[in-house]
Amino acid sequence: MALSITEECVACQACEPVCPNDAIRFKSGIMRIDKNACTECAGYHELPQCVEICPVEGAITNADGTPMNPPGTLTGIPRKKKSV
Amino acid sequence: MNIVPESGVGSASALVEEHPCYSAGAAHRYARLHLAVAPACNMQCRYCNRKFDCANESRPGVVSGVLSPEQAVQRAGEAMRRLPHLRVIGFAGPGDPLANRERVFATCKPLRLQFPELHLCLSTNGLCLPESVRDIVDHGIRHVTITLNTLDPEVGAAIYSWVFWKQRRRRGLEAARIVLEQQLAGLSALLAQGVLVKVNTVLIPGVNAEQVPAINRLVSAAGVFSHNVMPLISAPEHGTYYGVMGISGPSEEELHQVRSRCQGSAHLMTHCRQCRADAAGLLGEDRQAELRPVSLLGNRVIPIHRPKPALLAKAVLLAVATSTGERVDTHFGHAHSFRVYRVTGERIEYLEERRVPRYCQGDDRCEVTDDVLDNALQVLRDCQGVICARIGYTPWQALAERGIVPDNNHANRPVREALRQTALQLQENSGSRNCGLAAAC
Ligand code: SF4
Ligand code: SF4
Ligand code: SF4
């Protein structure tokens, strides 16, 4: 059980300090989640903290690659508007 | 307790007279430097897109590179040598400085030791303000700007998409109430400590115009030094909610109207130039492009320079990430090849397709490995710019470092149009248009 960070990430580093497992690292410009350390916040918080603070849709996915914050959910911008 | 001495360095009069944002007179004499050490934010304002950089934009929330505290201190040292009138160091983003407390305060410590004559200032959305006041004062920050856009949570719900608060993302009225409560509590705590407070209000036509006079009365009565009513900056290509949804900024006339209804004792600031979060120099004269990249101890240097426009006055070589050659539709990291064009004035010549060797093919989720990135950089090394639909932070930095300007402002636009505009912008962009937006200054 671990989440991962995709290429959509803009490396704003907001997720790093909120992780209770210290699983997120900023290294040579890239954010990564240590799969062995991430518990999806089980044991600490009801909701995965990185997902709650991340401002970028699609930047964090679950193990299946499903975005935790799908398109449209953070910006409120309807999908079709985005690609005009 | 009042921590401001009557005279000398850090005295109340010097705090005002030497700060270009607090005194219109100082704006012509003294320079300020914004240090972009704060990438994270804890909320989402609908006028903001914390896109890492855009060489052609100049508005709050926009910078050319995030600095580590060590780099920031070096940059300040260099600015001190080059900008003789430097008096103010500001922390204004690209995110919220108080969502990056450790980085900001880690920068303040050495700055105060090395340059005790500089004033430190910080801009914030106010969400984390109450619990930060002690640290702000202890680190010698004597100027704080709070962006206060409304006193009514109903209106706030139309300005803020969400806030991260107590372990979860909150939206709507709940979010707006939290923001307002924190802003007002933070405001009084700062004033009680003798900090000079400026309030910024972004005028969003049709959203908060009616709120502005009431904000002006409240902050004046509280003892805020100055109130800056600034126009919303909004264009579809900024990718902000307001920009994409077609809510545009006020006309001169509207801005003037609203400002004229602000009669409180707080100085109404009208000389704001809405600086970038990494601005340098006198207001209205951005010299950040002149400051060389800070050389850093081992770490990769994050570029803060721009290519010299003179080099681009003739033909420009541009690469485009596109699947069919018609539209800019490909993410930089997903591009298996780039089409390279030469643009000379109005003339666009297609030269060739350049493939990017990669070990992992076809998997969309595969991250940009260092190898793929190196290959792409190699393939693009003679280009002045690369146009793509999207691009990650790391490749952006790596490109910029090599003097290749990344452009993601033309996603899904026709390739030819994107080429023309990018070539034009490369030539025009002398980095002199100044000033930016919202939580900044
Ligand atoms: S889900 Fe929780 S434990 Fe996993 S990386 Fe995110 S914050 Fe850390
Ligand atoms: S919060 Fe999201 S965008 Fe920011 S660094 Fe973390 S994963 Fe990337
Ligand atoms: S304007 Fe500032 S506070 Fe608002 S979302 Fe952008 S970075 Fe955060």
Give, for all 441 residues of chain B, the pLDDT tens digit: 444 444 444 455 666 666 665 555 655 567 778 898 988 999 999 988 765 443 333 444 445 568 889 989 998 898 888 877 788 899 987 889 999 999 999 999 999 999 998 899 999 999 999 999 999 999 999 999 999 999 999 999 999 999 999 999 999 999 999 999 999 999 999 999 999 999 999 999 999 999 999 999 999 999 999 999 999 988 887 788 888 888 889 999 999 999 999 999 888 887 665 555 555 555 545 555 445 433 222 222 233 333 333 333 578 899 999 998 999 999 888 888 999 999 988 889 999 999 988 654 444 444 456 677 888 898 999 999 999 988 876 787 788 778 888 888 788 889 999 998 888 877 764 332 222 232 333
Task: Give the distance, in angstroms, between the CA of residue B316 and the centroid of all CA atoms in the same chain.
Answer: 28
Q: What are the CB-based long-range contacts (under 8 Å, 24+) for B324-328?
A: B325/B350, B325/B415, B326/B414, B326/B415, B327/B412, B327/B413, B327/B414, B327/B415, B328/B387, B328/B388, B328/B389, B328/B410, B328/B411, B328/B412, B328/B413, B328/B414, B328/B415, B328/B418
Residues B271, B259: Cα–Cα separation, whole Å: 13
Token pair of B361 as six digits? 């093919």
- Neighbour-count burial of B66, counting CB atoms closer than 10 A to its CB (0-12 exposed, 13-18 middle, 19+ buried): buried
The closest CB to that of B241, out of A10, A11, A75, belongs to: A75
The per-residue pLDDT of chain A, averaged, comes to: 88
Residue with tokens 């300005």: B159
Confidence at residue B39, expressed as pLDDT on a 0 to 100 scale: 87
Which residue CA neighbors atom 2 of ligand 3 most closely?
B439
Give the pLDDT confidence score for residue B391 in this predicted structure: 82
CA distance B152 to B138: 32
What spacing in Å lies between the alpha carbon of B406 and ligand 3's midpoint?
Answer: 23
Residue type, A69: N
- In the structure encoding, which two tokens stand for residue B234, read together? 């909004």
Tell me whether B147 touches chain A (CB under 8 Å).
no
| ipTM, interface predicted TM-score of the complex | 0.93
Distance (angstroms) between ligand 2 centre and the Cα of B436 equals: 24
* Residue A18 token pair: 């909120």
Rounded to a whole number of angstroms, the distance between the first and last alpha carbons of chain A is 37
Question: Could you report the per-residue pLDDT of B103-121, keeping only the tens digit for each?
Answer: 999 999 999 999 998 899 9
pTM recorded for the entire structure: 0.68
Handedness of CA B383, B384, B386, B387 (dihedral sign): negative
pLDDT of residue A46: 94
Which numbered ligand comes closest to the C-alpha of A48?
1
Judge: B41–A14 Cβ closer than 8 Å, yes or no: yes
Lateral strand order in the sheet of B385-387: B347-355, B337-344, B316-320, B385-387, B405-407
How far are the Cα atoms of A24, B80, B177 from residue B210, in angstroms, in the given order?
Answer: 43, 43, 18
Which residue lies with its CA nearest to atom 7 of ligand 3? Answer: B95
pLDDT, tens digit, 9 for 90 and up, residues A39-48: 999 999 999 9
| pLDDT at B217 (0 to 100) | 96
pLDDT of residue B363: 47
Name the CA radius of gyration of chain A, rounded: 13
Nearest CA to ligand 1 atom 8: A19
Contacts of B367 in chain A (CB under 8 A): 6-7, 30
**How many interface pairs between A and B have CB atoms less than 8 angstroms apart?**
89
- Write out pLDDT tens, residues A56-73: 999 999 999 999 999 888
Are B132 and B98 in contact, with CB atoms under 8 Å apart?
yes
